[in-house]
A and B are shown apart, each in its own frame.
Chain A
Amino acid sequence: MRYLMLLHGNQPPTPPPPDLMEAIMTLGEEATRAGVLLDTQGLAPSGAGGVRVELSGGRLSVTDGPFTETKEIISYAVYELRSRAEAVEWATRFVTLHRDLWAGWEGDCEIRRVFGPEDFGDQPPGAPGQQ
C-alpha cells in the first residue's frame, strides 16, 4: 500500500541544523535502499511563491502566500509499505530526528494512504458478482 507523508511544522527562526539534514539524508537513503521510499522532496515556504487557487461560493480566487492560519507543509514523502504500522514506524523515526537534533521544533507528520490497485477493480471477497 502506498502512503503519502506530509511533514507540517512550525520552524524555529534559525536554519535547520546540518546534523539534522545529514540524519534525514541517511534515513532517506536507508528507506530507499530497503525499497520502500519512492519519492521525497522538500517544499519552499508558502511565503516564497506559494499560491492558492480557490473556489468558494461559486467564485474563483487566487491568493498569494504566506498562509499563516496553518502550520507550513515542509516536505512530502511517498512510501510503498505493507501496513499502516510500518508507515507509523518510518514517520516516527523521521519525527524523532527532529526532536533529537533541532531544539524547539514542533510539528507533525501526517500519514495518508494513497488509493492503489487494491482500490480499483477487484471487489472484496464475497462481494456480489464473484463466484
Chain B
Amino acid sequence: MTRPASTHAAVEAVWRIESARLIAGLARFVGDVGLAEELAQDALVAALEQWPAEGVPANPGGWLMSTAKHRAIDQLRRRQNYQRKLAEVGRMLEHQPSGEPDPDDYLPDDLLRLVFIACHPVLRTEGRVALTLRLLGGLSTAEIARAFLVPEPTVGQRISRAKRTLREQDVRFELPPPADLPARLASVLEVVYLVFNEGYTATAGADWTRPELCADALRLARLLAGLLPDQPEVHGLLALLEIQASRLPARTGPDGAPVLLPDQDRRRWDRLLVRRGLAALDRVRTLGGDFGPYALQAAIAAAHAQAVTADETDWRRIAALYRVLVEVSPSPVAELNRAVAVGRANGPAAGLAVADALRGEKALARYPHLPAVRADLLEQLGRTAEAAAEFARAAELTANERERALFLARAEAATARPVD
C-alpha cells in the first residue's frame, strides 16, 4: 500500500494510535515496562527509517509489534546480562496468564495492566503523571515537558526514575488483586484528574488554561471507561471532565483573561461534550455509583451545565450535593466550594460563615481561592474594604499570571465601589 508525502508525520500518527497497545503487549512479553518502552521506541526508529522508502505497511501496528519482538530477542542475545534477562523472561512467562480465560482474571487486558503499572503507588506523583502520559497518552518527553512547563531533561529523569523504581521494587506486569483494586483505581483516577486540572487551571505560566492537556486527560479518561466499564467512579470522572471541558471555549476572554463560571457566555459551551458528560453520568446512575466523589462532582458540574443562564442555576441542589460530597470525601477545597454554593442558595452571610470556618485550615493557608471566595462574599455584603484586602491577598498567593490580574482588578473594583 502506498501513501503520499509526509511519511514522518504519518509514522508519528501511527505511533500515537498504536504505542500504548504496543508497549502493553511487549511488557507482557518481556516482563518489564521500561524495557518494553525501549523496544517500542526502537521499532518506531525502524519505522522512521523504513516507511518513507517502503511505504506505510498495511497493518502498521502489527509491523511495529513484530519488529519490536525481533529486537527483543536480538537484544537479549547480545546483552552481557543475557542470562539474568533470560531468567527474568522465563519467570515472566511462568507468571503470564495462560491462553485459557481465568475466571479470577476479571480485568483481562494488557492495556489495563499498563494503566495500573504507570499509576503504581510506589511511584511519586510526578513520575506517575509523566509515565502515564508517555506510555498511555503516546506523548513524547518533549511534549510532556511543554505541557507542564518544565525542562525536558527533568521529564526524562522523572520517567527513567519511575522505570527504575518499578524494576527495583520488582513490580510485576499484573493486575492488582481484587482487594487492592479500590485503592489502585483511586491512584489511576487521581493521575488523570491531575493532568486535566493542570490544563484547566494552569498552576503557573502565562496562560490561564492549556486545552491540549485537558484533551489528553479526556482521552485517557475515555480509554479507562472502555477498559473498566463497570466501575462507576471511572464514568464519574469521565462525566466530570467532559462537562468541565465543555466550558473551555467560554473560560477565556478575547484578551486571554479568565472568565469565571457566572460570567461565561454559555452559548459557547461545547454541547457535544455536555451531552457526552450527561451520558456518562447516566451510566454512573445505572451502575448505582451516585455517591462516589467523582460522581458527585460530576452531578454538580451537570447542574451548572443544565442551567441555560447563570441565574437559572439550581444553587440549592448544588449546595446539597456539596454537603454530601464533603461527607463522603472530606476536603477543605470542596468545603470552600460549598461556601460558594451556600452563598448563592442562602445568601452571602450564610456562605461567609462556611468560608470563615476554613480560615484556620492549614491546607488552605496559601490557597488563593480562600481569600478570593471570602472577598466575593464580603463584597456582596457591602464590606468593600475587607473584600479589597482579601482580593489583594488572593492575587499575592496565586502563581498564575492571568488569575493574579483578575484578582487585582477585582480588588480595585471593590475599593472603588461605594459602601451601601
Contacts and interface: CB of A to CB of B under 8 A. Distances in A.
Interface in B200-255: 206-209, 211-212, 215-216, 218-223, 226-227, 248-249, 251-255
Nearest to A89: B13
Interface in B259-297: 268, 272, 276
Contact of A88 (B13, B251, B401): B13
Nearest to A36: B219
A26 interface: no
A129 to B, nearest CB: 6
A34 interface: yes
A83 B221 CA distance: 19
Given A33-B226, A85-B10, A131 B16 contact: no
B206 A85 contact: no
B249 A117 contact: yes
Given A35-B219, A117-B248, A122-B256, A82 B212 contact: yes
Contact of B222 (A35, A83, A84): A35
B320 interface: no
Contact of B223 (A33, A88, A90, A130): A33
A39 B272 contact: yes
Interface stretch (B1-9, B170-178, B342-350, B391-399): B1-9
Contacts of A10: none
Nearest to B219: A35
Interface string A62-93: 00000000000000001011111110111010
Interface in A24-82: 32-36, 38-39, 78, 80-82
Nearest to A83: B13
A32 B248 CA distance: 22
A13 interface: no
Contact of B215 (A80, A123, A131): A80
B407 to A, nearest CB: 16
- Most chain B beta-carbon neighbours within 10 Å: one of A82, A90, A116: A82
Contacts, number: 92
A120 B268 contact: yes
Given A96-B1, A121-B252, A85 B208 contact: no
Count class of interface residues, chain B: 35 or more
A129 B222 CA distance: 36
A116 B273 CA distance: 12
A34 B252 contact: no
B17 interface: yes
B60 to A, nearest CB: 8
Given A96-B58, A121-B256, 13 more contacts: A33-B226, A39-B272, A78-B272, A84-B9, A85-B6, A86-B17, A88-B10, A89-B10, A89-B17, A120-B254, A122-B256, A131-B206, A131-B401
Interface of A: 1, 32-36, 38-39, 78, 80-86, 88-90, 92, 96, 116-118, 120-123, 125, 129-131
18 contacts: A33-B226, A34-B219, A34-B223, A35-B220, A80-B215, A80-B219, A85-B12, A86-B13, A116-B248, A118-B212, A120-B249, A120-B252, A121-B208, A121-B252, A122-B207, A122-B208, A130-B206, A130-B256
Across chains A and B, which 7 residue pairs bring their CB atoms closest together, nearest first? A121-B252, A35-B222, A85-B9, A117-B248, A85-B13, A33-B226, A35-B219
